[in-house]
Chains A and B, each alone.
Chain A
């Protein structure tokens, strides 16, 4: 399809919104969680690996939390069991927080969209 200079498609992509600031904030988050640290030095490799491992652990931890809540809702746990489960998961969350701090990773770094699986859990 031939395009003339006057054709709107020869202009740069334009952006239409009444809430620019909000979208700037959200898009920064989207770009922040990219694993594309293409810079090979020892420290960033360690962090890259740590990030991968912690992301997986974080994924499992969230799975466990969801399961625990489901069991609690299901009514087949005694109040004592619920309390124990809650305390254990609290500790797991705290431990993971420690690890994140050690490697200088933020929650955003480990942000993992569970996608379709998220809806199945």
Chain B
């Protein structure tokens, strides 16, 4: 599974950048991991580490899609 980081280092034209830019990584570490979280986002934490901090709208979509997926697979297991 490609990591979120791989996603980040692919530019608009789809070429993979050999990204070793330390300042980029440091910036990402701040911007992606911390900041104000608006109420209405779901943050599930264990031992003060956020496991999931997706916005509510995104999480709801995930659950709906997950149900879709499960419904589609049922005929196969029967």
**Chain A interface (Cβ within 8 Å of chain B)?**
12-13, 15, 17, 20-21, 23-24, 27-28, 30-32, 34-42, 45-49, 52, 55, 59, 103-106, 108-109, 112-118
Q: Mark B18-51, 1 if CB is under 8 A from A, else 0.
A: 0010110111110011000000000000111111
Please name 26 pairs of A and B residues whose Cβ atoms are closer than 8 Å in the assembled complex, sorted by A.
A12-B23, A15-B23, A20-B22, A23-B25, A24-B20, A24-B22, A27-B25, A27-B28, A30-B29, A31-B5, A31-B8, A31-B28, A34-B5, A35-B51, A36-B53, A36-B54, A41-B65, A42-B65, A45-B69, A47-B1, A104-B1, A106-B1, A112-B49, A115-B49, A116-B47, A117-B47
How long is the Cα–Cα vector from A21 to B20 in the complex, in angstroms?
Answer: 8
Does B56 count as interface, using CB distance less than 8 angstroms? no
Does B10 count as interface, using CB distance less than 8 angstroms? no
In the assembled complex, the CB of A49 is this many whole angstroms from the nearest CB of chain B, namely 6
Residues of B within 8 A of A106 (CB): 1
Instruction: Compute the total of residue contacts between A and B using a CB distance below 8 Å.
Output: 98
How long is the Cα–Cα vector from A17 to B25 in the complex, in angstroms?
Answer: 14
- Evaluate whether A15 and B62 lie within 8 angstroms (CB atoms) in the complex, with A55-B51, A113-B49 already known: no
- Evaluate whether A17 and B22 lie within 8 angstroms (CB atoms) in the complex, with A34-B33, A113-B49 already known: yes
Which applies to chain B's interface (DSSP): helix, strand, loop or mixed?
A: helix
**Chain B interface (Cβ within 8 Å of chain A)?**
1, 3-5, 7-8, 20, 22-23, 25-29, 32-33, 46-54, 58, 61-62, 65-66, 68-69
Residues of B within 8 A of A118 (CB): 47
In the assembled complex, the CB of A11 is this many whole angstroms from the nearest CB of chain B, namely 12
In the assembled complex, the CB of A19 is this many whole angstroms from the nearest CB of chain B, namely 10
- Evaluate whether A34 and B62 lie within 8 angstroms (CB atoms) in the complex, with A23-B22, A113-B47 already known: no
Residues of B within 8 A of A114 (CB): 46-47
In the assembled complex, the CB of B8 is this many whole angstroms from the nearest CB of chain A, namely 8
